[in-house]
């Protein structure tokens, strides 16, 4: 498959501004080619889609790429079909996936990316690129038709990965949450992306970008560290069984 995909943990890294850390990562995907990016703002919940576009558009324009939000399109399906590139922003993953299904865009984006159209997603936009949204950190504020998502990559990613837990909090740490996922879904694995780190996929190969290593969590409790520049075949991280991303998984 002729995939060109950039999956970023987060829109922010440390105290940098919105997508400020991501310039080189976006260029790695979009290759300084003149591209008109279609932006999907559906993960935004507490602010308007106009506001969201106003945050993202200047970042892409400064890098040399035109961008327009899909909420302006009379025919969103057609906007995806005609896109030079697709960007899906962060926010709430459940709201994003629900709105993607309602707009009929899940299959449309999947087909378009399979044809080779570049896709960039951060945070929630990274989650929906996985086979399912079962490794999101977000609150399930709405119920999408299914937790199955676009499956642009064949395994689950956990964005905003952070180790440990705040003092005085008896809820689960991220490692404990992932251990629960891995225990109940063995032998699946999960690729965790710390803030600022991204996965750049070209065809069947992926490369880790960003100074903090990505981590592969395995169901036996072990962890593999993938430092910046590590390249691997996509099938080296185990996703859900074939067919799980569809009616069978959705039950």
Helices (H), the chain: 23-30, 49-62, 76-81, 93-102, 105-114, 124-127, 174-184, 247-250
Which residue is catalytic, options 9, 123, 146, 148? 123
Q: Which stretch binds a copy of itself (CB under 8 A): 79-87, 111-119, 131-139, 197-205?
A: 131-139
Q: Which stretch binds a copy of itself (CB under 8 A): 12-20, 48-56, 63-71, 226-234?
A: 12-20
Which residue is catalytic, options 138, 146, 148, 200? 138
Q: Which stretch binds a copy of itself (CB under 8 A): 27-35, 55-63, 79-87, 127-135?
A: 127-135
Cβ-contact 3, 203 below 8 angstroms: yes
Q: Tokens for 197, please give them.
A: 């780190």
Determine whether 72 is an active site residue: no
Instruction: Compute CA 216 distance to the chain's CA centroid, rounded to the nearest angstrom.
Output: 16
Cα distances from 129 to residues 66, 74, 166, in angstroms, run 22, 24, 29
Name 161's bridge partners: 194
Quote the least distance from Cβ 140 to a copy of itself, whole Å: 5
Between 64 and 145, name the residue whose CB sits nearer to a copy of itself.
145
Cα distances from 248 to residues 31, 147, 148, 242, in angstroms, run 38, 12, 10, 10
Among 95, 120, 126, 226, which residue sits at the site for a copy of itself (rule: CB under 8 A)? 95
Is 145 a binder of a copy of itself (CB under 8 A)?
Answer: yes
Is 247 a binder of a copy of itself (CB under 8 A)?
Answer: no
Is 222 a binder of a copy of itself (CB under 8 A)?
Answer: no
Quote the least distance from Cβ 168 to a copy of itself, whole Å: 7
- Taking residue 208's Cβ as centre, other Cβ atoms within 10 Å add up to 21
Cβ-contact 91, 124 below 8 angstroms: yes
Determine whether 123 is an active site residue: yes
Cα distances from 5 to residues 29, 110, 151, 164, 203, in angstroms, run 7, 11, 12, 29, 9
Q: Which stretch binds a copy of itself (CB under 8 A): 57-65, 74-82, 158-166, 223-231?
A: 158-166
- Which residues are designated catalytic? 123, 138, 160
Residues making contact with a copy of itself (CB under 8 A): 10-14, 45-46, 91-92, 95, 123, 132-143, 145-147, 160, 162, 166, 168-172, 176-181, 183-185, 195, 249-251
């Amino acid at each position: 498959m002729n995939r060109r995909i950039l999956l970023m943990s987060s829109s922010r890294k440390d105290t940098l501004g919105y997508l400020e850390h991501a310039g080189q990562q976006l260029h790695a995907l979009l290759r300084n080619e003149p591209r008109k990016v279609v932006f999907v703002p559906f993960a935004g919940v507490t602010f308007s889609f106009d506001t969201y576009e106003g945050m993202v558009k200047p970042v892409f324009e400064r890098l040399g790429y035109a961008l327009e939000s899909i909420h302006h399109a009379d025919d969103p399906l057609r906007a995806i079909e005609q896109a030079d590139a697709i960007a899906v922003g962060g926010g709430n993953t459940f709201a994003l996936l629900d709105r993607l299904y309602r707009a009929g865009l899940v299959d449309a984006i999947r087909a378009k990316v399979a044809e080779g159209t570049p896709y960039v997603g951060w945070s929630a936009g990274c989650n929906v690129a996985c086979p399912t949204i079962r490794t999101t950190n977000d609150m399930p504020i709405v119920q999408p038709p299914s937790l199955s998502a676009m499956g642009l990559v064949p395994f689950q990613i956990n964005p905003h990965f952070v180790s440990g837990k705040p003092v005085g909090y008896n809820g689960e740490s991220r490692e404990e949450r992932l251990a629960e996922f891995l225990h109940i879904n063995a032998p699946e694995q999960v690729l965790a992306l710390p803030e600022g780190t991204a996965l750049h996929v070209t065809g069947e190969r992926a490369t880790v970008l960003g100074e903090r290593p990505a981590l592969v969590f395995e169901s036996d409790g072990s962890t593999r560290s993938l430092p910046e520049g590590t390249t691997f075949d996509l099938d080296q991280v185990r996703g859900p069984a074939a067919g799980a991303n569809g009616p069978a998984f959705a039950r």
